[in-house]
C-alpha cells in the first residue's frame, strides 16, 4: 500500500460550497474535501486521454477488462482521497507554511477557557484534553468538572468549553536544558470573503435586473511579515493524501499530477476565474506508529488512574483487573456510519469488528463523544445533486478496551489508511488511533 502526499497551492479564490438541506445560503468549507480533489483528478485524466495513452495510463474500457481509470475510481478498492486541510500555521511570530508536519483535528474532548480560549502560544489560557481524567473520575464514581488553572491564577471566570480547530505539533528543544524536549501547538485556518456578482441578460449581453448574488470563497493569499519589517503576500497551501493499493499505478498517478500540476481546477465557478490551484505530489510509504501510540496512551492512563486512586481509595470499577489495554479512535473527517441499515453516530464494537475482521470477545466500548450534521454536494459526472447524508462530525472520540491488544495493531494501522464507514474514497471516515493530544492535561495545557 502506497501513499501520495499532496500539497495544493491556491492561485485564485476557492468556492467550495457546504450544502445544507433547507437553507438558502451556501457556506464555504474551511478545507478542501476529498471528493472535490477526487473529481478534479478524474476530470483532468479524462480530458487528457489522447496524450495519456502514449504514457501507458490507459483510461478507456477494453472488452470489460479493468484499466487504470477503473482501478483508480470504479474498482472495489479504489484510490482513497483524503481531505486537504490548511497547511498554514499561526504562531506567536506570525504565519508559517507547513509541508512536513501532519495537520490534525482536535478531539471533541479538548477544552479551553471561556474567558480567553486558545493555545498558550497566542498568550491564551491554553487547551487541554479531558478524556482520560473524565474516564478515571467515572471509575471512582466522582463528578468531573474541569476548569482553567491559568484563569484561576488571574482570578477570572475559570469555566471551560469545547475547543475545536485544525492544528499541528512542532517539536522544540529547551535552550537552557538541551535534553528537555517540548511541543508547540499551532492553529491552522484559512480566511474567507464574499464576492458580489450580477446576473447577465443573455439576449442583450448586459447586466440583468434584480439578479445580484454573493459567493463566499476561501482567500487565495495571506499576509506575512518579513524580517525587514515589510509585509508580503503568500499563497495558501493545503495538505492531503491519496492512499492506493496498486504500487505501479500510484507511481503513474504521481507522475501525472506532477506533469499536469498547473491545469487543475477545483470547486465551483471555475468558468469565472475561481478554483485555480497548483498540485505537487510525492510518493512515500506510510509509517506505522500505532503500536507506540497505544503504549504511550496506556502508560499515561495508568499513571493518571494511580493519581486518582491516591485521592479516592474506593474504586467502583478497576479497568486494569483483567490486564485490559485501551485505545481511542479519533475521527479526522466526517464519517458516514451505518449499522443495521440505519444511520448512527457511534462506532459500536460490532461495527469495529466488521471494519477490521477481528473477532475479539473482550472488546468493549466505554465512552463515545460525537455529534452529527448533514452533507450534500454536486456530482459533475452525473450532473445531479448528491444524496443528503447524515454524517458524524470530525473530532469524534471513541474509547475501546481489549484483553488481546497485540492482535489489533496491524488491523488498526490498516484502518487508519482506509477509514471507517461509507464513501471512504471521497475522504469520509478518516481516523487516527490514540491522538497524542489526549496526553495533554489540565496542569500543563498546550
Q: What is the mean pLDDT of the chain?
A: 86
Per cent of the chain over pLDDT 90 is: 43
Mean pLDDT lowest for which of 67-81, 115-129, 338-352, 374-388? 374-388
Please tell me which residue, 407 or 223, carries the higher pLDDT value. 407
**Is a pLDDT exceeding 70 seen at residue 203?**
yes
Q: Grid coordinates in use for 391?
A: 454524517
Q: Can you read off the three cell numbers belonging to residue 141? A: 464514581
Classify residue 65 by its DSSP letter. Answer: B
- Written out in words, the top-level CATH class of the domain with range 290-439 is mainly beta
Residue with cell 512542532: 170
205: left (phi over 0), alpha (psi -120 to 50) or beta: left
- Cβ contacts of 173 within 8 Å, gap of 6 or more: 180, 181, 182
Cell numbers standing for residue 243: 492512499
Query: Mean pLDDT throughout 389-408?
Result: 93
Residue 211's pLDDT is what?
Answer: 75
Is the pLDDT score of 20 beyond 80? no
Residue recorded with cell 477526487: 38
pLDDT for 424 equals 92
In this prediction, residue 394 carries a pLDDT of: 94
Of 179 and 413, more confident: 413
pLDDT of 84 reads: 95
- Across 354-374, b (16+ Cβ under 10 Å) vs e yields ebbebebeebebeebbbeeee
DSSP state of 396: -
Summarize the confidence of residues 13-17 as an average pLDDT. Answer: 88
Q: Is 70 exceeded by the pLDDT of residue 54?
A: no
CA 217 – CA 272 distance, rounded (Å): 13
- The helix (H) or strand (E) run that includes residue 186 is strand 181-188
User: If pLDDT is split at 50, 70 and 90, which confidence band does 58 have?
Assistant: low
273-283 average pLDDT score: 91
Q: What is the mean pLDDT of residues 420-443?
A: 93
pLDDT at 55: 63
pLDDT-based confidence at residue 63 (cuts at 50, 70, 90): very low
Higher pLDDT, 362 or 268: 362
pLDDT at 30: 92
C-beta separation of 127 from 185 below 8 A: yes
Task: Check: CB of residue 48 under 8 Å from CB of residue 59.
Answer: no
pTM score: 0.89
Which residue spans within 61-173 are E strands per DSSP?
A: 80-81, 85-86, 88-91, 94-97, 104-105, 110-113, 127-129, 160-162, 166-173
Domain boundaries, the chain: 2-85+191-284, 290-439
pLDDT at 296 over 50: yes
User: What does the pLDDT average to over 132-136?
Assistant: 92
339 vs 95, residue with greater confidence: 339
Amino acid at each position: 500500500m502506497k501513499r501520495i502526499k499532496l500539497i495544493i497551492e491556491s492561485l485564485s479564490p476557492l468556492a467550495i460550497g457546504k450544502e445544507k438541506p433547507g437553507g438558502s445560503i451556501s457556506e464555504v468549507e474551511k478545507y478542501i474535501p476529498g471528493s472535490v480533489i477526487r473529481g478534479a483528478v478524474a476530470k483532468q485524466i479524462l480530458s487528457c486521454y489522447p496524450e495519456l495513452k502514449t504514457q501507458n495510463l490507459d483510461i478507456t474500457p477494453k472488452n470489460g477488462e479493468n484499466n487504470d481509470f477503473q482501478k483508480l475510481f470504479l474498482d472495489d478498492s479504489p484510490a482513497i482521497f483524503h481531505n486537504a486541510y490548511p497547511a498554514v500555521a499561526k504562531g506567536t511570530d506570525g504565519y508559517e507554511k507547513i509541508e512536513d508536519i501532519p495537520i490534525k483535528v482536535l478531539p471533541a474532548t479538548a477544552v479551553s477557557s471561556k474567558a480567553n480560549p486558545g493555545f498558550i502560544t497566542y498568550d491564551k489560557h491554553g487547551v487541554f484534553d479531558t478524556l482520560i481524567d473524565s474516564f478515571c473520575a467515572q471509575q471512582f464514581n466522582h463528578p468531573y468538572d474541569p476548569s482553567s488553572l491559568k484563569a484561576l491564577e488571574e482570578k477570572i471566570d475559570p469555566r471551560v468549553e469545547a475547543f475545536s480547530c485544525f492544528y499541528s505539533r512542532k517539536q522544540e528543544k529547551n535552550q537552557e536544558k538541551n535534553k528537555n524536549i517540548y511541543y508547540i501547538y499551532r492553529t491552522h485556518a484559512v480566511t474567507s470573503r464574499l464576492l458580489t456578482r450580477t446576473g447577465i441578460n443573455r439576449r442583450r449581453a448586459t447586466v440583468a435586473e434584480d439578479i445580484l448574488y454573493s459567493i463566499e470563497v476561501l482567500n487565495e493569499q495571506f499576509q506575512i511579515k518579513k524580517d525587514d519589517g515589510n509585509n508580503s503576500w503568500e499563497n495558501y497551501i493545503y495538505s492531503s493524501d491519496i492512499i492506493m493499493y496498486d504500487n505501479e499505478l500510484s507511481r503513474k498517478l504521481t507522475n501525472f499530477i506532477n506533469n499536469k500540476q498547473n491545469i487543475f481546477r477545483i470547486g465551483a465557478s471555475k468558468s469565472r476565474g475561481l478554483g485555480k490551484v497548483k498540485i505537487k505530489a510525492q510518493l512515500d510509504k506510510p509509517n506505522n506508529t500505532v503500536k507506540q501510540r497505544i503504549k504511550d496512551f496506556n502508560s499515561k492512563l495508568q499513571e493518571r488512574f494511580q493519581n486518582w486512586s491516591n485521592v479516592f481509595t474506593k474504586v467502583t470499577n478497576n479497568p486494569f483487573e483483567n490486564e485490559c489495554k485501551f485505545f481511542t479512535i479519533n475521527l479526522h473527517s466526517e464519517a458516514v456510519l451505518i449499522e443495521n441499515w440505519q444511520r448512527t453516530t457511534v462506532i459500536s464494537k460490532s461495527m469495529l469488528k466488521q471494519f477490521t475482521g477481528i473477532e475479539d470477545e473482550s472488546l468493549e466500548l466505554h465512552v463515545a463523544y460525537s455529534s452529527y450534521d448533514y452533507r450534500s454536494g454536486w456530482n459533475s459526472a452525473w450532473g445531479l445533486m448528491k444524496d443528503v447524508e447524515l454524517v458524524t462530525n470530525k473530532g469524534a472520540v471513541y474509547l475501546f478496551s481489549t484483553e488481546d491488544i497485540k492482535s489489533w495493531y496491524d488491523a488498526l494501522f490498516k484502518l487508519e489508511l482506509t477509514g471507517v464507514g461509507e464513501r471512504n474514497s471521497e475522504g469520509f471516515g478518516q481516523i487516527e488511533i490514540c491522538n497524542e493530544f489526549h496526553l495533554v492535561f489540565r496542569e500543563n495545557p498546550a
